[in-house]
Amino acid sequence: MEGHMTSECKENRKFDLNDVPDKLPEEAWKILKKASDEKDIEEFRDGLKMYSKAVPTASFADIEKKMRQENFKIFLIALEKEIGDCLSLIDLQGKLSCKYIVGFYYSEKPQRANLKDRWPPTPEDNLERLADAGFPYDRLIPKCANCGEMGHGSKFCKGERTTIDRVEVKCVNCSATGHRARDCVEKRRDPFTCRNCGSTAHKASDCTEPRSAEGVECKKCNEVGHFAKDCPKGNMRACRNCGSSEHMARECDQPRNVSTVTCRNCDEVGHYSRDCTKKKDWSKVKCNNCNEMGHTVKRCPLPVKTDDDAREETGTGTGDVYPENSNESAGMDGW
């Protein structure tokens, strides 16, 4: 439509479905049913395109209702999800700026803990959400890398130019900054020479010369020229309990000085975490089952792993499919 820019367009988006095969509604629905029975998400995705082309007025809510009547094994779920400024959630009829994102799942209930807060509480709520849900598409509106506003590129930005911190380039041949190895004028260094003495007859692991500290940065004082084990500033040991330099805390015979104790819950000094009066900070608690922060094993939503599970962890997940993630990795084409 003439008379306005893309950034100002509020009309429904028109889809190019010329590459989608023409099918009768009944044929397209059979493809959807077959893909659902086989739990084939890719076939289901293609079938949904065909059905949407055959019945352009069918919304996500209409399709989900019909799927439930025929006991499909795949569910259309409308999830809460924040998307970037350059994307828009668009439904099957082309309506822009929908609120929820549509995903394909094998269950009507969330199978992962990170989905519970985004999941619709009931099937009825899901149908209400599907009325305002869509797939992510590129808005086709440029975003300025200078000011961060939509509608123009940085080349035409009228705002003050921001300074960009560029990554420092370091030559792997001479270790100098400001150029790459391909532009280095120094003699090419043999990558197979000994890093310790420079000999080409052996590797550093076979070198008989004392280890050179040239160019080495100490991990204790951050000075260059010596190793941490030889640091003149880092060898002063003191007892954390009484402050004596004659012994370590594990050898101290003095009563425990609570004033030196740091609470693991609130990070304050003067008490143990078991005596902390503040509310439990679960963000500092790590689960020994899933290795995530925020809960203990007793509150872990995942099944408790056995020893065999820990040794033979395959990472195959629960079998859920997250099409909104695959959409993003596929260039945000909506499907």
pLDDT per position as a tens digit, 20-63:
999 999 999 999 999 999 999 999 999 999 999 999 999 999 99
Nearest in space to 324 (alpha carbons), one of 310, 313, 335? 335
| CA 249 to chain centroid | 41
| Strand (E) or helix (H) holding 101 | strand 100-105
Residue 101 near residue 67, CB atoms below 8 Å = no
Q: Residue 79 half-sphere exposure, CB side, CA atoms within 13 Å?
A: 26
User: Can you give the pLDDT at residue 197?
Assistant: 82
Taking the C-alpha atoms of residue 137 and residue 83, their distance in angstroms, rounded to an integer, is 10
Q: What are the φ/ψ torsions at residue 309 (nearest 5 degrees)?
A: -65, -40
Domain 142-185 has CATH 1.10.3470: no
pLDDT of residue 237: 67
Write down the pLDDT at residue 323.
45
Give the N- to C-terminal CA distance of the chain in Å, as an integer.
25
Q: What is the pLDDT of residue 326?
A: 41
Pairing of strands 133-138, 87-90: antiparallel
- Predicted confidence pLDDT, tens digits, the chain (335 residues): 676 766 677 788 888 889 999 999 999 999 999 999 999 999 999 999 999 999 999 999 999 999 999 999 999 999 999 888 889 999 999 999 999 999 999 999 999 999 999 999 999 999 999 999 999 999 888 999 888 888 888 888 988 888 877 788 999 888 889 899 999 999 888 878 887 787 888 888 888 888 887 778 888 788 888 887 778 776 566 787 787 777 777 888 888 888 878 888 888 888 888 888 888 888 888 888 888 888 888 888 888 877 655 544 544 444 444 444 444 333 345 66
Q: How far apart are CA 134 and CA 99, in angstroms?
A: 8
pLDDT tens for 60-101 read 999 999 999 999 999 999 999 988 888 999 999 999 999 999
Q: Report the DSSP beta bridge partners of residue 89.
A: 136
- The backbone torsions φ and ψ at residue 138, rounded to the nearest 5 degrees and listed phi first, read -70, 135
The CA distance from 322 to 305, in Å, is 24
* CATH 4.10.60 domain range(s) in the chain: 142-185
Q: CA angle, 215 as apex, 213 and 216 as ends, to 5°?
A: 55
What's the rounded Cα separation, in Å, for the pair 117 and 300?
16
Q: Please report the pLDDT score of residue 333 as a whole number.
A: 53
The tokens describing 320, both together, are 């859920």
- Residue 191, token pair as written in the block: 């990558």
Q: How far apart are CA 9 and CA 14, in angstroms?
A: 12
Q: How far is CA 280 from CA 130, 259, 287, 291, in A?
A: 38, 21, 15, 19
Helices 60-69 and 123-130 pack at an angle, to 10 degrees, of 150
pLDDT at 7: 66
Cα maximum dimension of the chain: 88
Q: How distant is the alpha carbon of residue 248 from its chain centre?
A: 42
Taking the model in full, what pTM does it have? Answer: 0.51
Q: What is the pLDDT of residue 98?
A: 94
| pLDDT for res 309 | 56
